[in-house]
Chain A
Amino acid sequence: GQQLNQSPQSMFIQEGEDVSMNCTSSSIFNTWLWYKQDPGEGPVLLIALYKAGELTSNGRLTAQFGITRKDSFLNISASIPSDVGIYFCAGLGAGNNRKLIWGLGTSLAVNP
């Protein structure tokens, strides 16, 4: 099936640093979702984006729906140890088949 191009694949940063990751698609999406998954748990929805150009924050997290509708970005400011996990992007294109397209994830490690 179709997949999103999510980068970077992994990141190792110092506590307090800012983090950026992004997802790109070859086709236009109407919805972008960002999830975080802790080891052995289900993904948790962080931010949902529905309009091109939309910028939405959730605490220290900020995500943007790219103006071309083919990409999205997630930024984490002032990282803390509990930010460790895998971050997934997911998108939904036109049509109503309800099938989200998923990125392969960005694994984040934070050094205290």
Chain B
Amino acid sequence: DGGITQSPKYLFRKEGQNVTLSCEQNLNHDAMYWYRQDPGQGLRLIYYSQIVNDFQKGDIAEGYSVSREKKESFPLTVTSAQKNPTAFYLCASSLVTGPSYNEQFFGPGTRLTVL
């Protein structure tokens, strides 16, 4: 079955440590996205990538970094520079052409807690 996987589901880290969240998709989508969700909030875009080896900052990129070395993978690193990293992180992917290219499909999310 095609889909998006994120691992782990729950992640705990000490303050000051960098942590990398995994996102893999087998939908053959060119575009991938990272969002952050806080309680009672909508989704805020961190980074997105439309093609391998290229990515753009979203609305809240400070304190985060990404890489896109493979079409299937788009890992997100939460660095120690992120002031308030505890949140629910969602990865999504989409096509970049065709009638449904705006439709983003989401993984199950990773809940990061920084102690």
Interface of A with B (CB < 8 Å)?
Answer: 1, 3, 31, 33, 35, 40-45, 48, 50, 88, 90, 92, 98-100, 102-105
Contacts and interface: CB of A to CB of B under 8 A. Distances in A.
A33 B94 CA distance: 13
Nearest to A35: B106
B103 A1 contact: no
Given A41-B109, A42-B90, A100-B102, 20 more contacts: A1-B44, A1-B59, A31-B102, A33-B103, A33-B104, A35-B106, A90-B43, A90-B104, A98-B31, A98-B48, A98-B94, A98-B96, A98-B102, A99-B58, A99-B59, A100-B104, A102-B44, A103-B42, A104-B41, A104-B42
A102 B42 contact: yes
Contact of B43 (A31, A88, A98): A88
Interface residues of B, number: 29
10 contacts: A40-B111, A42-B4, A42-B108, A42-B109, A45-B104, A45-B105, A88-B43, A90-B43, A99-B45, A102-B44
B100 interface: yes
